[in-house]
Chain A
Amino acid sequence: MGGKVSCTLGEVTNRADFIIFWGGNPAECHPRHFTKYSLTPKGRFVPDGRKGRTAVLVDIRETPSAKAADIFLQLRPSKDFEVLTTLRALIKDQRVDPAAVAETGLTLEQLQDLVDRMKKARFGAMFFGMGLSMTRGKHMNSGALLNLAAEMNAFTKFVCMPMRGHGNVTGADVVLRYTTGYPFGVNLSRGYPRYNPGEFSTVDLLVRGDNDAAFILGADPGATMPQPAIEHLASIPTIVLDPKVTHTSRLSRVHITTAVTGVSAPGTAYRMDEIPLPLAPALRSPYPTDEEVVRRIRRAVARRPAWQPVDENVRSAIA
């Protein structure tokens, strides 16, 4: 895989004249994205704003975002990887079987037209959502799109960026990356970080029942994860820190109400382009911040003697 060729959203605003949204529905899920960054704002090198940009939406259904796009390409479910690899072939003028393309729900002419437009762009930006990364193919789909963006740079400037979901999920990735070297699925039980998605990732740990306690911060797995993972959370000591009582709070042993970050607690949030933004709270909260609670728990844990495994032979010798 060719890594991520990316940029800031400011560059998209000021430079991008060709935007592709793939497997995402920003009109519903990121309602300010079009108006603040990607479609309607006038930029330094896009002085006409929306008129100076071409927007393409690729998805399996006609979502409200289709109205905002100039071109809507509706493909069949789970055919993203096939379409992306076809596009990678077409940009290199390789021969493609029209019958194979037809199985994706699109025609070769549609894809060739897209490639021609992409090559004519001055600055192309591709944004992808969970429709690409959470369907069959998963990271291979994302990798194919990232590769397409990287390979487009042989012809013109192209960048690619995931449309991240809830607030500051990018921050969790970035902080884990610069502290451990890995973005998620990190195991620190040996005293050094080990990374193995599928083994150390949250859903897998919970579904297999490998962990015997859970500390949930700013998330509600009780409303989003597969049912066996939820049942395991309910069966072990689970501690939840959240400003609201969530589904996870209900199945936890302890819920600690905390102040809302960005509203009544300061902090730093990473935007989806990995730009850190300081948060200035507008209100005061009677509740402690997440950081304060975590620090207090750490201090309390530090006061307890460290647990050491004891060899049974040594124990019996002492006795």
Chain B
Amino acid sequence: MTRETKRLLMNAVRTTKQGQQINVGKDGAEYREIVETLGMHPEDLKAVGAVSGGRVRVRSEYGEVTFKCVEAKKAPQGMIVVPYGPPTCHLMGRYTDGTGMPTSKGWEVEVEPVASETPAGEAAAIDTAARR
């Protein structure tokens, strides 16, 4: 299954379309498509071994999720851009460093391509109870 695992920096963002869809409803297919799709530089796509429109598994220290990935030419090399949403909750760190604010951007993640039949947004939080 795993062809190559690449470490990248994940940056969760907001987009206008996402903001519009929040007001339409978070159950809509369009909202889910937005928050389950990440963008990365074409060179990173190649390095990961994924294709634009394909699926990748993203793994952070806290959990893993599959996303649809697309080419984002303006994303800096080494960085993934993905709109905030339920899938990113699985990857987000739980500690706030005493500030009350979780680190919501700039997570180090591992990315690998997955078989296309795996639905995007499928999350597997790793043993959260044991970490408490």
Contacts and interface: CB of A to CB of B under 8 A. Distances in A.
A139 B132 contact: no
Nearest to A24: B14
Given A60-B11, A227-B63, A244 B25 contact: yes
A99 to B, nearest CB: 22
Contact of B89 (A28, A74, A230): A230
Contact of B105 (A131, A208, A231): A131
A246 B89 contact: no
Contacts of A136: 103, 106
Contact of A138 (B16, B92, B99): B99
Contact of B102 (A31, A223, A226): A226
A209 B129 CA distance: 11
A204 interface: yes
Interface residues of A, number: 46
Contact of B96 (A74, A197, A228): A197
A54 to B, nearest CB: 23
A243 to B, nearest CB: 10
Interface in B70-86: 74-76, 79, 81, 84-86
Interface residues of B, number: 42
A165 B13 CA distance: 12
Contact of B106 (A77, A201, A209): A77
Given A25-B14, A185-B100, A209 B132 contact: yes
A25 B98 CA distance: 27
A247 B85 CA distance: 10
A207 interface: yes
B62 A226 contact: yes
Contacts of A207: 94-95, 132
A223 B26 contact: yes
Contacts of B131: 228
Interface of A: 25, 28-29, 31, 60-63, 74, 77-78, 130-131, 133-136, 138-139, 165, 184-185, 197-198, 201-204, 207-209, 220, 222-231, 244-247
Interface of B: 9, 11, 13-16, 19, 25-27, 62-63, 74-76, 79, 81, 84-86, 89-90, 92-106, 123, 125, 128, 131-132
11 contacts: A60-B76, A61-B75, A133-B101, A207-B94, A207-B95, A222-B86, A224-B84, A225-B89, A226-B62, A227-B94, A228-B94
Given A61-B75, A231-B125, 18 more contacts: A28-B16, A28-B19, A29-B16, A61-B81, A63-B74, A77-B11, A134-B103, A138-B101, A197-B96, A208-B132, A209-B132, A223-B86, A224-B84, A224-B89, A226-B93, A227-B92, A227-B123, A227-B128
